[in-house]
Amino acid sequence: MAVTKIRKVSSTTLLVLLALSVLIFVLFFAGGSELDAKGNKDYAFTGILLYWTYFLFIVTVLATLFFAGRSIATNKTKDVVARKSNLISVVVLVVSLILGYAIGSGEAIKGLNEASQAYNTSGWLKVTDMWLYSTYVLFVVTLGAVVWGGVSKRFLGK
């Protein structure tokens, strides 16, 4: 019963977030645009798309940290490998966020339209770089884990 309820809640949440994302994406492109003084397209709903993206990123990171922390705190089993794996994944996420922000460029981007200038600040640019670098790092780590899992099963015979 509990598994069915969890699956139902997670599926509903996924579908609602996906529907809202598609709606905002369509609104962004179909909602109209105009040319600014430099001749660049200025979409009417850029702000909504950016804030929705920020919301999804923040919710994802907070949920990841919360559930990983809860898993580490409540996992009282003797499975040391699983506990170590959970802890390593959280540490890699936090370190990638910190390093991504530290090495991110705060240099202003040239040639943007007037609507984008509000986000062309050092802080926003470093946060954007942080998310991009963290996404790259976590993707590579995930890909490496998948490859290692397949290779180790085949060659080590587990």
Q: What is the mean pLDDT of the chain?
A: 84
Q: Give the Cβ contact number of residue 28 at 10 Å.
A: 19
For the chain, how far is it from start to end, CA to CA, in angstroms? Answer: 33
The answer to whether the CB of 89 falls within 8 A of the CB of 73 is: no
CB 39 within 8 A of CB 111: no
- Taking 60 as the threshold, does the pLDDT of residue 158 lie above it? no
Helix (H), strand (E) counts: the chain? 4, 2
- Tokens standing for 119? 């986000």
What would the mean pLDDT of 92-109 be, rounded to a whole number?
A: 87
Q: Where are the domains of the chain?
A: 31-156
Cα gap 19→118, rounded to integer Å = 28
Q: Is the pLDDT of residue 1 over 70?
A: no
pLDDT at 77 (0 to 100): 66
- As a whole number of Å, the CA-based R_g of the chain is 21
3-state DSSP percent of the chain in helix, strand and coil, to 5: 80, 5, 20
pLDDT digits (tens, 9 = 90+) for 9-52: 889 999 999 999 999 999 998 988 887 777 777 788 888 999 99
**Rounded CA gap, 50 and 64, in Å?**
21
CA distance 117 to 35: 15
**pTM for the model:** 0.59
* CA–CA gap between residue 24 and residue 153 (Å, rounded): 43
